[in-house]
Chain A
Amino acid sequence: MSMSLLRALLGGAVIAALGFAQGEAPAPVAAQEPVVVKNPFQPFDRARFEVAAKQLGANEAQLQTFATQIAELGLTRAADNLLRAAVPAFDAAVKRHEASDPAAALELTKVLAAATDPLLQAHVRYHLARVFIDSDDPERAIQILNEYLKDNINRSPLDAEAAFFYAQSLAEVPRVDDAIPRFRAFLQWFPEASERFRSAAHQQVRELERQRESKLHHLADGMKKTTRDLKKQKTDKPVQLDQEKYIEELDELIEMYEEMEKKSGGPPNGNGPSSNPATQSALPDGDGSVGDLQKRPTLADRWGDMKDRDREKIEAAVQKGLPPQYQKMLEEYYKKLGKAQGK
């Protein structure tokens, strides 16, 4: 069923009037041809990557290590390790994340604010998004991965994971209608991505589609009850409120399908390069390609365990020297982290 037909069945008023009054089937609605979105991702260019890494300070020995690690750890992790070796401040910030230090977001943001090279920005944004995801803050992850997808793609082998985690973050918000096409795009555009990520994406698409489908069943269930109420001549306020709720839910569904229709077709809009797939978050267990994914105390736990003066130190640092958009982002992040721990 095309998206436009589905939307019409949910919302098309004039046709519906005839159908309701006379029991006629709705008139056919012309389906729009889906517009194919061009894959914005290009194959990884190792030579270009190595030139950029050298410009960031990578030396020959580090490049040799990179070459060796590709076979041992995989391209993505080897590339990230090279960047970490070349840029000590970035490495230090990532280590804070690996140690579940709440200052990780602040330190990564400082590195990001100072970075002008798109390759370094890509890696910092990826790690910062992972910090937000680990802090159960998918909105902030979406914000930072939008920047990645807008400004940093086709520089690093991290693109596939950035695409996965973006979709994952949308799913966690939950923005089901935005997440599904992005998981699909990830699967289509990154056939060589790790099987763990691909399996997780397949599973997510199935689960999200079921969620969407169940909304329709849920509505039908509610209407069944109302049908019984009306039969019993119950037409008072509670019944009317139930009925109004159905209209609201139908409006939401119509809006959702309109959005999906726009996104399966038209040019990118809304958050980020909309047709780009994006990131990943809830990794399947095992090696993420980058970073330590072992279980550890959450960032919110650590934030709660900190001494007041240490928390205040971080909060004060957020107010100093960061671009306004990042200052606001971190203010909201730490506020949310504090709420999770009642601080």
Chain B
Amino acid sequence: MLRFLQDRVNKATKEFDGKAAEQKVADAGKVESDKLSGKQARVRDLMRKLAVKMGKENDATEGGK
């Protein structure tokens, strides 16, 4: 899932980067880059949650030994 989400962000980033400079600096361009950043943030948050969950499970396993 995370891989797919990241891949989507990557493609959107490339697409945005390929647009003409004037399109990027316009208001619409700013909205689009904010959206991109938001998508990347969601992948990051999911990754962080997974890392924390794995860490807790490892600690619990050790504590149970």
Contacts and interface: CB of A to CB of B under 8 A. Distances in A.
Contacts of B25: 233
Interface stretch (A240-248, A300-308, A316-324): A240-248
A220 B52 CA distance: 11
A213 B41 contact: no
Nearest to B44: A223
B10 A243 contact: yes
A210 B51 CA distance: 10
B13 A235 contact: yes
A189 to B, nearest CB: 16
Given A233-B24, A235-B16, A246 B6 contact: yes
A226 to B, nearest CB: 5
Contact of A231 (B14, B37, B47, B62): B37
Interface bin, chain B: 35 or more
A251 B44 contact: no
A19 B65 CA distance: 37
Main secondary structure of the interface of B (DSSP, over half): helix
Interface string B5-46: 111111001101100000011000110011011011111101
Interface in A169-228: 202, 206, 209-210, 212-213, 216-217, 219-220, 223-224, 226-228
Interface string A5-21: 01011111101110110
Contact of B3 (A231, A235, A254): A254
A168 B43 CA distance: 35
A243 B9 CA distance: 8
Contacts of A246: 6
Interface residues of A, number: 43
Contacts of B46: 9
Contact of B34 (A9, A15, A231): A231
Given A223-B41, A226-B40, 6 more contacts: A1-B53, A9-B1, A20-B5, A223-B47, A233-B29, A250-B2
Interface of B: 1-10, 13-14, 16-17, 24-25, 29-30, 33-34, 36-37, 39-44, 46-48, 50-51, 53-55, 57-58, 62, 65
* Interface pairs A-B: 10 shortest CB-CB: A216-B51, A16-B1, A223-B44, A16-B4, A230-B37, A235-B17, A231-B37, A220-B47, A220-B48, A13-B4
Interface of A: 1, 6, 8-13, 15-17, 19-20, 26, 202, 206, 209-210, 212-213, 216-217, 219-220, 223-224, 226-228, 230-231, 233, 235-236, 239-240, 243-244, 246-247, 250-251, 254
29 contacts: A1-B54, A1-B57, A6-B50, A11-B3, A11-B4, A16-B1, A16-B5, A19-B5, A26-B1, A210-B58, A213-B51, A216-B50, A217-B48, A217-B51, A223-B41, A223-B47, A226-B40, A227-B44, A230-B13, A230-B36, A230-B37, A231-B33, A231-B34, A233-B29, A235-B14, A244-B10, A247-B6, A247-B7, A250-B6
